[in-house]
């Protein structure tokens, strides 16, 4: 995350800003002060805490740790179990510690938050503590009316619904196992219920990930969003690679990026990711597959259930993270930093990660995938762009 990404993200969440308390605004300002001064220890709290209440998902999207492995070793080694869920009590303890300082909690990372049976209660706990609550979902669930009402009444601030196509044929090319009729039904009903119940929140966002094959449905989707009363329509180019292709052991790291005036990543000063089991990592941009892989090189910073959030936030690993992003060249002087989570990250190192990346503005789905006999996408044994399966 750099200045441009931070401004874009803030703009997408602009209707939250006037709901921030003086304490939350002050916390952000203190965080910004520490960032500009490249401080390693900070007296602010993370402005945004991503709480991965469960990494479980009902779909197998092609980009994701949940993708059909089709022989890919890293994906074969992913492990997800029904018990991989944060409890309400564990969640409440985190919220108690960050309330009054942290502005926002985002209740997802690698799974779908709607799979967690206590999501609505968690939203209520966070909202009652004065936090903005964000959820992003595939929304491809056969929800009954009372569940949709419960979501609307949960205190959720912002609901992002992923609509990557309007026709089932196009949608399922990347949203594997999903049903677009359910997604659109749920979104429509949430918008209607919000109106019927006279509520202003949750604000609704339709997120449209673009691929060459679904471009003709972008404008109809935008019109549909407006018709439903959805506040935001966001579209961006999608990835046709898988997160596992971008693990640091899959590409060459050339050199650290040269020092600049400001830190080159803002995550370690402003945000924290807490996994369902309490483990803490600084972001969801790097070592993603390793987080769920048996024997994966996850390099977690600490555990928010075993110590306090504040303790982890200023522990040695967090201080190292702030040191590295403040001047990536420090790894040349301190070789032990090569064992750190951030080592090899494309944000602060020149790398050859682009060789493993397949962005949809440059590549077509057919170059990378074919449909198998069950009608599910399968990576071609060697895609025509040269990326090995
Ligand atoms: C791993 S998902 C977890 C949340 C939820 N299950 C969902 O899909 O929105 C996190 C983010 O990845 C995005 N995403 C999914 N497929 C993508 C793709 N092919 N390229 C880029 N981002 C993608 C999702 O839309 C979401 O914003
Ligand atoms: S819905 Fe989200 S978490 Fe689930 S497989 Fe797709 S991208 Fe991954
Ligand atoms: S790995 Fe470190 S440098 Fe890279 S995005 Fe995450 S926090 Fe920033």
DSSP-assigned beta bridge partners for residue 388: 382
Instruction: Quote the pLDDT of residue 246.
Output: 92
| Residue indicated by tokens 């600049």 | 260
Nearest to 23 by CA among 102, 116, 90, 137: 102
Instruction: Quote the pLDDT of residue 2.
Output: 66
Mean pLDDT rounded to a whole number for the chain: 94
Q: Does ligand 2 have an atom closer than 6 angstroms to the CB of 112?
A: yes
Q: What is the dihedral of CA 40, 41, 42, 48, to 10 degrees?
A: 70
**Confidence band of 106 (pLDDT split at 50, 70, 90):** very high
Select the more confidently predicted residue: 384 or 248: 248
> Is the preceding peptide bond at 202 cis, omega within 30 degrees of 0?
yes
User: How far away, in angstroms, is 345 Cα from ligand 3 center?
Assistant: 6
pLDDT score of 384 more than 60: no
Query: Within 13 A of 129's CA, how many CA atoms are on the CB side?
Result: 23
Q: Whole-angstrom Cα distance, residue 14 to residue 130?
A: 17
Instruction: Quote the pLDDT of residue 388.
Output: 54
User: How far away, in angstroms, is 171 Cα from ligand 1 center?
Assistant: 13
Helical packing angle, 88-98 and 119-128, nearest 10°: 20
Instruction: Quote the pLDDT of residue 47.
Output: 96
Which atom of ligand 2 approaches the CA of 66 most closely? 5
* Mutate-to-test residue for ligand 3 from 298, 300, 348, 349, highest number of ligand atoms within 8 A of CB: 348
User: How far away, in angstroms, is 319 Cα from ligand 3 center?
Assistant: 13
Q: Does ligand 3 have an atom closer than 6 angstroms to the CB of 273?
A: no
Instruction: Quote the pLDDT of residue 381.
Output: 80
Instruction: Quote the pLDDT of residue 18.
Output: 72
- Give the ligand whose atoms come closest to the C-alpha of residue 61: 2
pLDDT score of 361 more than 70: yes
Average pLDDT over residues 314-342: 97
Max CA distance (Å), the chain? 62
User: How far away, in angstroms, is 198 Cα from ligand 2 center?
Assistant: 31
Q: Whole-angstrom Cα distance, residue 20 to residue 43?
A: 19
Cα→Cα distances 142→34, 78, 119, 146, 205, Å: 46, 26, 16, 12, 20
3-state SS, residue 65? coil
Instruction: Quote the pLDDT of residue 71.
Output: 86
Segment 158-203, tens digit of pLDDT: 999 999 999 999 999 999 999 999 999 999 999 999 999 999 999 9
Which atom of ligand 2 approaches the CA of 111 most closely? 3
Rounded to 5 degrees, φ, ψ at 57 are -140, 155
**Confidence band of 1 (pLDDT split at 50, 70, 90):** low
Confirm if 102 and 129 have CB atoms less than 8 A apart.
Answer: no
Q: DSSP string of 228-295?
A: HT-SEEEEEEPB-S-GGGGSGGGS-EEEEPPP-SS-S--HHHHEEEE-TTSEEES-SSSSTGGGGBTT
Instruction: Quote the pLDDT of residue 24.
Output: 96
């Amino acid at each position: 995350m750099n200045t441009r990404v931070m401004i874009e993200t803030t703009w997408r969440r602009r209707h939250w800003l006037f709901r921030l308390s003086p304490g939350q605004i002050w916390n952000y300002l203190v965080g910004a002060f520490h960032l500009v001064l490249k401080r390693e220890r900070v007296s602010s709290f993370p402005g945004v805490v991503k709480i991965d209440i469960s990494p479980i998902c009902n779909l197998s999207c092609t980009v994701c740790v949940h993708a059909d492995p089709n022989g890919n070793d890293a994906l074969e080694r992913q492990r997800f179990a029904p018990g991989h869920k944060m409890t309400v009590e564990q969640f409440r303890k985190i919220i108690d510690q960050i309330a009054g300082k942290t502005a926002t909690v985002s209740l997802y990372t690698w799974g779908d938050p709607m799979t967690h049976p206590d999501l609505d209660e968690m939203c209520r706990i966070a909202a009652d503590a004065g936090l903005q609550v964000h959820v992003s979902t595939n929304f491809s669930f056969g929800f009954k009316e009372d569940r949709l009402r419960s979501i609307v009444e949960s205190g959720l601030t912002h609901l992002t619904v992923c609509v990557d196509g309007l026709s089932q044929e196009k949608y399922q090319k990347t949203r594997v196992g999903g049903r677009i009729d359910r997604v659109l039904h749920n979104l429509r009903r949430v918008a209607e219920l919000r109106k019927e119940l006279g509520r202003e929140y949750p604000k609704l966002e339709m997120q449209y990930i673009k691929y060459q094959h679904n471009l003709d449905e972008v404008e109809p989707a935008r019109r549909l969003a407006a018709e439903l009363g959805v506040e935001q329509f966001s579209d961006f180019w999608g990835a046709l690679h898988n997160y596992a292709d971008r693990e640091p052991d899959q590409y060459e790291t050339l050199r650290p990026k040269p020092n600049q005036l400001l830190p080159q990543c803002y995550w370690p000063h402003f945000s924290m990711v807490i996994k369902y089991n309490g483990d803490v990592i600084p972001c969801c941009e790097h070592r993603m597959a390793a987080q769920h892989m048996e024997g994966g090189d996850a390099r977690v910073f600490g555990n928010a259930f075993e110590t306090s959030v504040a303790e982890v936030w200023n522990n040695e690993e967090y201080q190292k993270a702030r040191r590295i992003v403040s001047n990536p060249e420090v790894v040349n002087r301190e070789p032990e930093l090569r064992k750190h989570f951030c080592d090899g990250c494309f944000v602060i190192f020149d790398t050859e990660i682009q060789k493993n990346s397949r962005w949809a503005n440059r590549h077509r789905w057919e170059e990378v995938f074919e449909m198998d006999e069950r009608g599910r996408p399968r990576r071609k044994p060697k895609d025509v762009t040269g990326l090995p399966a």
